[in-house]
Homo-oligomer: A and B are copies of this chain.
Amino acid sequence: MNPIKADSKTKSAQSERTADFENNLIHPDVDSGLPEQKRTAGKASAFDKWLMRTMLQKLGNPEIEVVLWDDSVITTSTSSPPIRVYIHQRSTLNKLLIDPSLYFGEGYSQGTIEVEGSLVSLNEAINRSMPSVNAKHFYRDGIRGCLRWLSRNTIDAARNNVHHHYDIGNDFYQLWLDQQLAYTCAYFSDPEMSLEAAQIAKMDHVCRKVGLKPGDTVVEAGCGWGALALHMAKNYGVRVKAFNVSHEQIIYARERANAERLSDRVEFVEDDWRNITGSFDSFVSVGMLEHVGLKNYEELGNVISRCQKPDGRGLIHSIGCNSPRVLDSWTTKRIFPGAHVPSLSEMMRIFEPQKFSILDVENLRLHYALTLEHWLQRYEQNIDEVRGMFDEKFIRTWRLYLSASIASFRTGSLQLFQVVFTNGRNNEVPWTRDKLYQSD
């Protein structure tokens, strides 16, 4: 397993941290709870084994070992100990052939697939082997049309999609996010800093990039539980109007604004970004673009153009990728319905029709891997409390989601872009970026 690598100064500390993290996650699957009678009885046939070998070959022979229901082993691993994937049912094996991404996820959630070793490392091993084969025809193209349909993201569809993920209980998210419930990539100016500190550093990084001044007005599209909006108002003396279609998040954010006596400066609006009106110094959106849908990017550009003053700077912070792709089918089915992670050329569909000037793009991919490590660690630490809220299938689904996400950011399957932009004619822009890196 390749640990995350950074510049030499921080590398060793980080490698240690990553190793600790991995060790804590070995054998999370000691007991998946699958009753013995649900396992396929009898021997795996030569044909079963041939199918399994063929699939591993199509995946580029990842460093894993597969154990079938009769304990027969098919391996493409050279590691010791290997990462072991147990497939307990013949029907699971058959489904994997149709759509490995979807049915690996489904099988893992249901416990008909179990993993011995780190779930993160397993996903990394597969991600790393994948690009060496033409994975396109194997499982991606077939679902592309379906995903396009899913990602229409009308206002109603967007609301349902957001509800699916974000309205499952604030108390659940409180178990594993930071204290302020920032559910987006943090900024670890020092990799050793706490998640809490890194989320604050991220908010400050965003505020500096758009150059907030006291008295400015900000509109935030997709405000989550309100952490950034409240941080801006409290620390930068600005007024914020923050939009979100998640009912539970808005209720929480309003309560926090009241408790912190900020409700005169921060307005939380339960509405879609398409309905933003008014004129603001800055448009800011952190972690919403993933839910907008590619077809709506040009409309998003129109909205920004309409609501951001000509001398204002805006920022969009989004998960992205290195070249256009669709998210895997399990993630779009079970985790983020309607989600799309854009490449930079796709993101430009927001900005280029309006002739916005792109001032700055920063890629924080490895910061998201580290953020997710913190989340997964807290998730596992509080697993008993999660178990009190949800069933085993939910627990395994979320474990896989967090683990696979770490792997995706580590292996470069996913990126995190922060894009700063302004009106194409605005000369009121910072002369250099040095002020982003000056301590207060």
Task: Bin the interface of chain A by size.
Answer: 35 or more
Instruction: Convert A339-367 into 0s and 1s, putting 1 for each residue whose CB lies closer than 8 angstroms to a CB of B.
Output: 00001110011011101111111110110
Is B322 a contact partner of A434 (Cβ separation < 8 A)? no
Does A237 have its Cβ within 8 Å of any Cβ on chain B?
A: no
Closest to A205 in B: B432
When A363-B360, A429-B6 are in contact, do A355 and B434 touch as well, CB less than 8 Å? no
When A343-B348, A357-B412 are in contact, do A362 and B433 touch as well, CB less than 8 Å? yes
Does A424 have its Cβ within 8 Å of any Cβ on chain B?
A: yes
Distance, CA A95 to CA B357, complexed state (A): 33
Does A149 have its Cβ within 8 Å of any Cβ on chain B?
A: no
- Residue among A191, A426, A427 having the largest count of chain B Cβ atoms under 10 Å: A427
- Residue among A191, A324, A343 having the largest count of chain B Cβ atoms under 10 Å: A343
Q: Which of A1-47 contact B (CB under 8 A)?
A: 2, 4-7, 10
When A355-B323, A360-B361 are in contact, do A7 and B344 touch as well, CB less than 8 Å? no
Is B412 a contact partner of A425 (Cβ separation < 8 A)? yes
Q: Which of A405-440 contact B (CB under 8 A)?
A: 410-412, 415, 417, 424-438
When A189-B434, A365-B357, A415-B357 are in contact, do A427 and B348 touch as well, CB less than 8 Å? no
Closest to A346 in B: B345
- Residue among A191, A349, A361 having the largest count of chain B Cβ atoms under 10 Å: A361
Instruction: Convert A306-350 into 0s and 1s, putting 1 for each residue whose CB lies closer than 8 angstroms to a CB of B.
Output: 000000000000000011100000000000000000011100110
Is A131 a contact partner of B355 (Cβ separation < 8 A)? yes
Does A239 have its Cβ within 8 Å of any Cβ on chain B?
A: no
Q: Which residues of B contact A438 (CB under 8 A)?
A: 437
When A128-B425, A430-B7, A437-B437 are in contact, do A363 and B352 touch as well, CB less than 8 Å? no
Instruction: Pick the residue among B4, B6, B345, B357 that contacts A352 (CB under 8 A).
Output: B345
Distance, CA A216 to CA B324, complexed state (A): 32
Instruction: Pick the residue among B345, B415, B434 that contacts A437 (CB under 8 A).
Output: B434
Could you list which residues of chain A lie within 8 angstroms of chain B, going by C-beta atoms? Answer: 2, 4-7, 10, 128, 131, 187-189, 191, 322-324, 343-345, 348-349, 351-353, 355-363, 365-366, 410-412, 415, 417, 424-438
Given contact pairs A187-B432, A360-B362, a sample of 5 additional A-B residue pairs in the complex whose CB atoms are under 8 Å apart: A6-B431, A344-B344, A344-B345, A345-B348, A358-B361
